[in-house]
Structure formats: structure tokens, C-alpha cells
């Protein structure tokens, strides 16, 4: 796998409402481990570390599995 040496920007298919318009989400990977998010056409960027994003993804997956278990238990 290639190490991240310079910022890489990509536009996702995800849409959000920002500044009164529906806009695409731009994702920026910055070395060494920063992930930035912003609305296309806007300057404000929100940054997280890769570790925090990973932790959030694990928690979201765990919560989804718990919801599914509760749903099956009710039936």
C-alpha cells in the first residue's frame, strides 16, 4: 500500500445541505493521518484524524448490530 505524502481531494456522491443549497461532499486526505470534509463550493473544512474516524465507524457498526438484534428479539 502507498503512503500518503501529499493531500488528495475527491468529490463523493454524498449530498448535504450547506449555505442554502444541496452540495456534494469533498473529502481531503492529508498526511500523515488527517481526513477533511467540506461542502463543494464552500471553504469551511472539518477535520478528523483517521483513528477517530475508525473508532466512529466501529461504534456505528456495533450500534447497527445491536438495533438489528433488538428488532429480531421483538418479533
In this structure, is residue 2 part of a structural domain?
Answer: no
Give every strand in the sheet of 21-30, ordered side by side: 8-18, 21-30, 34-39, 46-49
Domain span at residue 29 reads 8-74
Task: Return mean pLDDT, the chain.
Answer: 96
**pLDDT exceeds 80 at position 75:** no
**pLDDT exceeds 80 at position 20:** yes
In this structure, is residue 63 part of a structural domain?
Answer: yes
**Reported pTM:** 0.81
Please report the pLDDT score of residue 73 as a whole number: 87
In this structure, is residue 3 part of a structural domain?
Answer: no
Could you read off the pLDDT of 34-63 as tens digits, one per residue? 999 999 999 999 999 999 999 999 999 999
For residue 38, give the nearest of 70, 72, 10, 74 by alpha carbon. Answer: 10
Amino acid at each position: 500500500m502507498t503512503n500518503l505524502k501529499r493531500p488528495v481531494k475527491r468529490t463523493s456522491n454524498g449530498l448535504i445541505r450547506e449555505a442554502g443549497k444541496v452540495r456534494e461532499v469533498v473529502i481531503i486526505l492529508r498526511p500523515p493521518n488527517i481526513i477533511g470534509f467540506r461542502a463543494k463550493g464552500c471553504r469551511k473544512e472539518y477535520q478528523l484524524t483517521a483513528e477517530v474516524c475508525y473508532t466512529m465507524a466501529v461504534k456505528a457498526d456495533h450500534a447497527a448490530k445491536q438495533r438489528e438484534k433488538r428488532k429480531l428479539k421483538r418479533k
